[in-house]
């Protein structure tokens, strides 16, 4: 029992250490290459974007036991995991849209000297979105018996982030560092998705999921191009209300269709 306790304790301590290093590695790297002001700005953006990660941390302990109760070898498992990921995605994307549409407001909370840099915020917010949604599959794999999945994914993310940051920080500065994190998160998420499919033989994403993700990304891009408008306050409120309503309606329709099935 002591040997098992020690082994599990060391494993989870290692996972925790990797998580801390994974989420702050880019900050350590830019601290060597960039100016003090850019470091401060990047740290502020990280603090703002990590709000999205809290969605997963808050919902995961409540929802995953239900997934475990369903059973892994049933058709219902796939349906429930899809609904869980769709719900997690909807909540996270609402936060992403809110952070990007009201970037000036969030930056002012950290002091009037900080000017909103929306591209850095967009890159890191989408990175946290990928972590919040696809990270759920790491927990599902662990519950499925793949105990090393989370550890291996964290190592992969750490290595990719370090390599991309070192490659892009010189030519693109703070934007290169932020985009490196997003790129590393996308690749790691795709590996997690592939691994989950290999183990479970279940496709957890459908066209509806990708549709609402692309819609949100398109809204962010379109808003970015319209940001110079003198009516940007009206535009941001209109977009926020429209897309939040759209996501809530889409999730409601999905749940109702699943219940009828």
Report residue 201: phi and psi, to 5°. 60, 35
16/194 Cα distance (integer angstroms) = 24
Question: Cα dist. 174→22, 166, 232 in Å?
Answer: 17, 11, 25
Question: Percentage of the chain surpassing pLDDT 90?
Answer: 4
- Residue 246 pLDDT class (50, 70, 90 cuts): low
pLDDT at 226: 61
Q: Are 131 and 185 spatial neighbours (Cβ–Cβ below 8 Å)?
A: yes
8 pLDDT above the threshold of 70: no
pLDDT of residue 113: 64
* Mean pLDDT of all residues belonging to the chain: 75
Of 86-100, 146-160, 207-221, least confident by mean pLDDT is 207-221
Cα-atom radius of gyration of the chain, to the nearest Å?
Answer: 19
Band of the pLDDT at 187, cuts 50, 70, 90?
A: very high
CA dist., res. 17 & res. 13, Å (int): 6
What confidence score (pLDDT) does residue 183 get? Answer: 92
* pLDDT at residue number 230: 45
Q: Higher confidence at residue 44 or residue 226? A: 44
Mean local confidence (pLDDT), 196-220: 74
Q: Is the pLDDT of residue 151 over 60?
A: yes
Residue with tokens 């990590």: 50
Q: Supply the pLDDT for residue 125.
A: 87
Task: Compute the distance between CA of residue 191 and CA of residue 197 in angstroms, rounded to an integer.
Answer: 10
How many percent of the chain have pLDDT more than 70? 65
Task: State the average pLDDT over residues 26-44.
Answer: 80
How confident is the model at residue 27, as a pLDDT? 72
For residue 120, the model assigns a pLDDT of: 86
pLDDT at 195: 87
Q: What is the pTM of this model?
A: 0.80
């Amino acid at each position: 029992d002591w040997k098992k306790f020690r082994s599990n304790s060391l494993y989870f301590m290692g996972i925790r250490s990797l998580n801390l290093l994974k989420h702050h590695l880019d900050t350590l790297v830019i601290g060597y290459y960039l100016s003090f002001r850019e470091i401060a700005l990047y740290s502020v953006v990280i603090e703002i974007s990590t709000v999205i990660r809290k969605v997963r941390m808050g919902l995961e302990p409540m929802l995953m036991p239900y997934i475990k109760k369903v059973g892994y070898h049933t058709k219902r498992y796939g349906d429930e995991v899809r609904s869980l990921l769709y719900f997690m995605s909807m909540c996270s994307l609402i936060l992403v849209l809110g952070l990007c549409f009201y970037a000036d407001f969030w930056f002012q909370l950290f002091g009037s000297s900080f000017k909103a840099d929306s591209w850095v915020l967009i890159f890191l917010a989408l990175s946290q979105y990928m972590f919040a949604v696809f990270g759920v599959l790491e927990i599902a794999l662990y519950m499925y018996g793949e105990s090393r999945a989370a550890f291996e994914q964290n190592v992969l993310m750490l290595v990719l982030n370090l390599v991309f940051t070192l490659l892009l920080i010189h030519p693109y500065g703070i934007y290169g560092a932020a985009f490196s994190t997003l790129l590393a998160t996308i690749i790691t998420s795709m590996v997690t998705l592939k691994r989950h499919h290999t183990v479970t033989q279940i496709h957890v994403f459908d066209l509806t999921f990708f549709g609402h993700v692309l819609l949100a990304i398109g809204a962010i891009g379109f808003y970015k191009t319209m940001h110079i408008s003198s009516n940007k306050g009206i535009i941001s409120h209109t977009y926020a209300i429209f897309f939040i309503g759209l996501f809530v309606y889409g999730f409601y329709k999905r749940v109702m269709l699943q219940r009828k099935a």
